[in-house]
A and B are shown apart, each in its own frame.
Chain A
Amino acid sequence: MVPTAAQQTIRFTLNGKPVEARILPHHNLVEMLQDFGLFGARESCGQGLCGCCTVLVNGNAVSGCLYLAAFIDGADVVTVEHLASAGTLSPVQEAFLETGAFQCGFCTPGFVLMVHQLLDRNPEPTEEDIRHYLSGNLCRCASYREIIQAVRSAAEKRKSCATG
């Protein structure tokens, strides 16, 4: 069946809750999230290069600026807003605050989500692993040194949480 260019309805899980959205086929994921009042994923380069628009879709990080909203139908979507939804910051967020891993903060949501992904897959990354994994995230304030420190510190925090 071919839907028309008019609005279409999609259903998906957004930050743990089932939701429905009316979207236009040419809208991207960042635009759609804004309709839900979620502004953590923001479009900056618009080309997949900077990571400011990072969103987790079915457990994988994607660039929301290059992802059609229509593709979200049936998916599980997590944005940066979900990390502290229980009222406490995640260990990664705490580590970013404590190390001062930002200046203006524009790139921070993207970095924080990518670091969550990195540590889920590789709980004890080397500096080389960290640099490689985050090579698709740009920080125009150049907080890179502090960001790498924050990843190390977040890895430590998560380890101590895990072992009680």
Chain B
Amino acid sequence: MMPFEIAEPRSLREAIGLLGRDDPSVRPIAGGTALMLMMKAGVFRPTRLVSLRSIEPAFARTTLGAEGELRIGALASLSSLEHSQAVLNGAPVIAKALRTLSNVRVRNVATVGGHLAHADPHMDLPPVLIALGARVSVLGPSCDRLIPVENLFAGYYETVLARDELIAELIVPPQGGRRAAYLKCTTRSADDWPALGVAVALDTDGTAVHEARIVISAATHKPTRPVAAEAILRDGISDAVLRRAGAAAAEEAGVISDTHGSAAYKRQLVRVYVERAVRAALAIPTGKQRRA
């Protein structure tokens, strides 16, 4: 790796001051797992990294409010979430998705803020968090803002954050009786990056569906909600509706070809996995399981 300097500010505000808006070679570093790979590959050559490791410890905390709202500090490690009672109670689908996210060592070091800001479309938590309606609180030099995770990603490895804005906290709203699931499909080894991720969150009453959110990731250039498929689910859950929703999602998701599979293949995956994810969320057996 090329030489660079590291600044070690003691507060998030101080870190923001050290970033500046104009120099692309100055960046924040949290766990460093994503940045180290980019620096080793020479894709990113920093002059200075602003480390977030010594900022206020409150930004590494996770709490569950009385109403069921989860607040997760940007510096919380992924493994702290995986084992957090607050997460297990407030949004267990997050803890479950983390089990197959990378490996123990990466989860021990990687942070929630770094995970979201990295904006690799193959990552596991963005689709889950979008399905849950989560937001990030973002601090900047002149103003602070709340951004729905759904609007955080501008494209392939790109967010809407300015260079001197930092994610401070992730806020997952109370889930009430909503049921959620996340499924991913890897086409090579089990621990490979997925060819497709599908997250769903459903507000249901028997077979009636009040609200449905579906998020497609990995097969698309950024996490995407197939809104026509969501509308179809509101017709109420039946085998025919699930099939139509899967087909609609495959049609509208904007699936792209890459090393994990062709667009045609991934459209077929979307068709199958949307249906499976809804069944998983509602604990409805698949056709095969019922026949068995």
B108 in complex: contacting residue of A28, A61, A137, CB < 8 Å? A61
B79 in complex: contacting residue of A24, A48, A60, A70, CB < 8 Å? A60
User: Is B6 interfacial (CB 8 A cutoff)?
Assistant: yes
Number of chain B residues close to chain A: CB under 8 A: 31
A66 in complex: contacting residue of B2, B37, B48, B79, CB < 8 Å? B37
Residues of B within 8 A of A68 (CB): 6, 29, 32, 36
Inter-chain CA distance A35–B190, complex, in Å, is: 36
> Residue on A with the closest CB to B109?
A62
Residues of A within 8 A of B109 (CB): 60, 62-63, 66-67
A136 in complex: contacting residue of B1, B99, B103, CB < 8 Å? B103
Min C-beta distance of A61 to chain B, whole Å: 5
CB–CB A136/B36 < 8 A: no
CB–CB B1/A133 < 8 A: no
Q: Mark B105-134, 1 if CB is under 8 A from A, else 0.
A: 110110000000000000000000000000
Interface members, chain A 26-54 (any B CB < 8 Å):
26, 28, 46-49, 51, 54
User: Is A117 interfacial (CB 8 A cutoff)?
Assistant: yes
CB–CB A136/B104 < 8 A: yes
CB–CB B33/A66 < 8 A: yes
User: Is B243 interfacial (CB 8 A cutoff)?
Assistant: no
CB–CB A51/B36 < 8 A: no
User: Is B5 interfacial (CB 8 A cutoff)?
Assistant: yes
Inter-chain CA distance A144–B198, complex, in Å, is: 31
User: Is B191 interfacial (CB 8 A cutoff)?
Assistant: yes
Inter-chain CA distance A24–B53, complex, in Å, is: 18
Inter-chain CA distance A51–B102, complex, in Å, is: 12
Residues of A within 8 A of B224 (CB): none
Given A62-B109, A67-B109: A26 and B1 interface contact (C-beta under 8 Å): yes
User: Is B206 interfacial (CB 8 A cutoff)?
Assistant: no
Residues of B within 8 A of A135 (CB): 103, 190-191
User: Is A2 interfacial (CB 8 A cutoff)?
Assistant: yes
Residues of B within 8 A of A24 (CB): 3
Interface members, chain A 70-98 (any B CB < 8 Å):
70-71
A47 in complex: contacting residue of B3, B37, B39, B108, CB < 8 Å? B37
Interface members, chain A 105-159 (any B CB < 8 Å):
114, 117, 132-133, 135-137
Residues of B within 8 A of A104 (CB): none
> Residue on A with the closest CB to B50?
A2
> Residue on B with the closest CB to A48?
B106
User: Is B40 interfacial (CB 8 A cutoff)?
Assistant: yes
Residues of A within 8 A of B49 (CB): 25
Q: Which residues of B contact A (CB under 8 A)?
A: 1-8, 18, 29, 32-33, 36-37, 39-40, 48-49, 51, 53, 79, 99, 102-106, 108-109, 190-191
Please name 20 pairs of A and B residues whose Cβ atoms are closer than 8 Å in the assembled complex, sorted by A. A2-B18, A2-B48, A3-B5, A24-B3, A25-B3, A26-B1, A46-B40, A48-B37, A51-B103, A60-B79, A61-B105, A62-B108, A63-B33, A66-B32, A67-B32, A67-B36, A71-B32, A71-B51, A135-B190, A137-B103
* Contacts A46-B40, A136-B105, A137-B103 supplied; 17 other A-B pairs, CB < 8 Å: A1-B8, A2-B48, A5-B5, A26-B39, A28-B36, A60-B79, A61-B104, A66-B109, A67-B32, A68-B29, A68-B32, A68-B36, A71-B51, A136-B102, A136-B103, A136-B106, A136-B191
8 tightest Cβ-Cβ pairs between the two chains A and B: A136-B103, A66-B36, A60-B108, A25-B6, A26-B1, A2-B7, A63-B105, A5-B5
